[in-house]
Amino acid sequence: MKTAFITGASSGIGWAAAVALGRAGFQLVLTGRRLERLQELARELGDQVPTHLLTFDVRDRAAVEAAVASLPAEFADVDVLINNAGNAHGLAPIQQGNPDDWDAMLDGNVKGLLYVSRAVLPAMTRRNTGHIINIGSIAGHETYANGNVYCASKAAVAALTKGMRLDLLPHHIRVAEVNPGAVETEFSQVRFKGDTERAAGVYQGYEALRAEDVADLLAFMVTRPAHVNIAEVLILPAAQGAATVIRKE
């Protein structure tokens, strides 16, 4: 049974990806900061899907390295890595931005992806096989007003994905990026620091993507034949034409 390692599995796209990959026949390493949520997910998956839970913050390099090193032998040879953990904090012009928000986004979206990838890659390079999918964003390809640092962090994910694909090509490791548009998850609640009314307003008047829509795509990508790499996907709700252009009824 192949092993998939999913970061940020305690909610949203990560949670849905775990369900989709479990159905596709993978055993799962589920990681996140909220142990009780990971335990709830493992119960939902049931006994048919072997799981191993790791709690750490991707921004903490020592914690990442210790967690990956602790994997039991049956989960240690990771076949698929879904770098999903990330965040958006605030929506302000650069001159009014909060440096703490900047640190959270750059540390989580960029450095966290690097820390996890670096810890997991020896299991792939040793066996000359593997598949990495980085969750980017339309924001990494279209910068929008007040999105400055978040957009920059996701642009970095796009650049890193291309660089990883080149560097890992000799090791037969597929590297890809999925760039969602508007997905209704906890994303906006985090961005707006718990302002549920403002967060809900982001998704009013049209049908946004659901986390399950992105998860279905991920399951399709990782079950393609070994000679196929779906290297980059932009997935939008039908009502979205660009990062900040959405048709509302």
The domains of the chain, with CATH numbers, are 3-246 (3.40.50.720)
Spatial separation of the C-alpha atoms in residues 149 and 140, rounded to whole Å: 10
pLDDT in tens, 7-56: 999 999 999 999 999 999 999 999 999 999 999 999 999 999 999 999 99
Catalytic residue among 115, 150, 203, 206: 150
C-alpha dihedral, 160 to 166 to 172 to 176, nearest 10° = 40
Q: Is 115 designated active site?
A: no
DSSP state for residue 94 in the 8-state scheme: G
pTM over 0.85: yes
Q: What tens digit of pLDDT does each residue of 159-206 get?
A: 999 999 999 999 999 999 999 999 998 766 667 677 777 777 889 999
User: How many Å apart are CA 102 and CA 164, to the nearest integer?
Assistant: 24
Whole-number pLDDT of residue 186 = 73
Using CA atoms, how far residue 78 sits from 72, 127, 173, in Å, is 11, 10, 12
Q: Measured between alpha carbons, how far is 118 from 106 in angstroms, rounded to an integer?
A: 17
Block residue for tokens 């799962």:
28
Determine the Cα–Cα distance for residues 218 and 212; give it in Å rounded to an integer: 10
241: helix, coil or strand? strand
Residue type, 132: I
